[in-house]
Structure 1
Amino acid sequence: MKLVVVDYESGNLRSVSRALETCGVAPLVTCDPDELAEADAVVLPGVGAGPSAMNALNERGLVQPLRDFTASGRPFLGICLGLQLLLDWTAEEPGASCLGIVPGQVIRLPDEQNDKSLKIPHMGWNSVALSQEHPAFCGIESGSYFYFVHSFYADPQDREGVVGTTEYGLPFCSAYAKDNVVATQFHPEKSGPVGLRIYRNFVAMAAGGY
């Protein structure tokens, strides 16, 4: 199996690679667009700002290859910023067009709830309410806790793809999964055994030719 982790200097590549290695896969970490075309599965990790991340993807010629890969039906996993970049647009200053794979936009989390201030970024453990079954979340109970670090959230127009929601000032999409495209706002690689289960499920999707 050829599993590619996309390197565009915006992701926690080491921890993601280690998580995949525990699942029995030796991932190829690369920024080479041609490697995406030959991959059986792709992981797009991400931390930091959306506009600068899009600049990095454009500079490396990765935007269209990522679009082509998700359209091919092969398994794709986006992590944290990797979820947000799937959408059409991010409101993070100064704003930027994103990959346009999932219709919708990226919005900043609210600063207040019920007259109480909220710490931004949203950082730490929080629960995810899973509403739909998908192979990527097989064996994971609704209400399981995962680790988050983010100030913005994805707001997909396609609500059928929103399989997980989390409360922080408002209910937001913390997991998206539709067909071959899976993405999480939280970091599975930092979420202990339940997070590693997502990686194992994703690897199984790739091995099964999802």
Structure 2
Amino acid sequence: MIALIDYGVGNVQAFLNMFKRLGIDACRASTSEALQQASHLILPGVGAFDHAMTQLQQSGLRPALDTLVLEQKIPVLGICVGMQMLASGSDEGQLPGLGWIPGRVKAFAQQPDSHKLPMPHMGWNDVKFRAEHPLFRDFEAESRFYFLHSYYFDAVDEADVVATAEYGVDFDCVVSRGNVYGIQCHPEKSHRFGAQFLKNFAEL
């Protein structure tokens, strides 16, 4: 059972609808008890980093998540701001992140020539991935995903980077460390590419 962590941030229903189309059992989890039934976890997120971290802390789910992810090694996938929350912190806010994958979230606006680019980074973009990684099993060499963000995850260890995309600079858009995974784009809006990605995660 895949548990969509419902802490008040992120479109949980869109993921439930996609998993239903894929024939994969998934549920909404807003209590620690509901999380205990999960074989996999998904941490969605939209909006500002500090708001998402505050909502997660206030939800009361953080202690259970730390136990499931860090001790029981349940696979977890952070999506969009959910991926950014995996880092130690973000240039967008002041609060610490979960720190599950070493890295920091940075702003496109701080990059050279950023004034030439529309902000946020929005729309379809090519993703370059490590073909041997199970998250990209059965993928075509040229795969495109839908993005909507102004900040990006910058991993400390290159070995944690599964895929990159380019928007003024090459940036890490999929990361993986042990049982912790993150994707910056929106698989629920990325048609067959997103569906295959979520299917692959469910089969890890």
Shorter-chain TM band: over 0.9
Partners of 1:52 and 1:86 lie apart in 2 by: 14
Answer yes or no: is the 8 Å Cα contact 1:146–1:187 preserved in 2: yes
- Counterpart of 1:208 in structure 2 is none
Deviation at 1:189, TM superposition (A): 1.0
- Counterpart of 1:80 in structure 2 is 80
With normalisation by structure 2, the TM-score equals 0.92
SS state at 2:203 partner: helix
One-letter amino acid of the counterpart of residue 74, structure 1: I
Partners of 1:85 and 1:132 lie apart in 2 by: 25
CA offsets, 1:75-97, max 9 Å, x none? 2111111110011111113x211
Gaps of 5+ in 2: none
- Counterpart of 1:22 in structure 2 is 21
- Counterpart of 2:197 in structure 1 is 198
Gaps of 5+ in 1: 206-210
One-letter amino acid of the counterpart of residue 128, structure 2: A
Answer yes or no: is the 8 Å Cα contact 1:84–1:154 preserved in 2: yes
One-letter amino acid of the counterpart of residue 152, structure 1: Y
- Size of the aligned set, in residue pairs, is 203
| Cα separation, partners in 2 of 1:180 and 1:112, compared to 1, 3 Å | closer
SS state at 2:144 partner: strand
Partners of 1:132 and 1:174 lie apart in 2 by: 15
Deviation at 1:110, TM superposition (A): 2.9
Answer yes or no: is the 8 Å Cα contact 2:147–2:186 preserved in 1: yes
- Counterpart of 1:184 in structure 2 is 183
Matched, 1:69 2:53: no
| Cα separation, partners in 2 of 1:173 and 1:142, compared to 1, 3 Å | farther
Partners of 2:148 and 2:113 lie apart in 1 by: 22
Cα RMSD after superposing both structures: 1.7
With normalisation by structure 1, the TM-score equals 0.90
CA offsets, 1:104-145, max 9 Å, x none? 111111366558611111000001111352212111134311
Answer yes or no: is the 8 Å Cα contact 2:41–2:76 preserved in 1: yes
Identity value in percent: 36
CA offsets, 1:46-66, max 9 Å, x none? 111110011001001122322
Answer yes or no: is the 8 Å Cα contact 2:114–2:168 preserved in 1: no
SS state at 1:15 partner: helix
Deviation at 1:45, TM superposition (A): 0.9
- Counterpart of 2:32 in structure 1 is 33
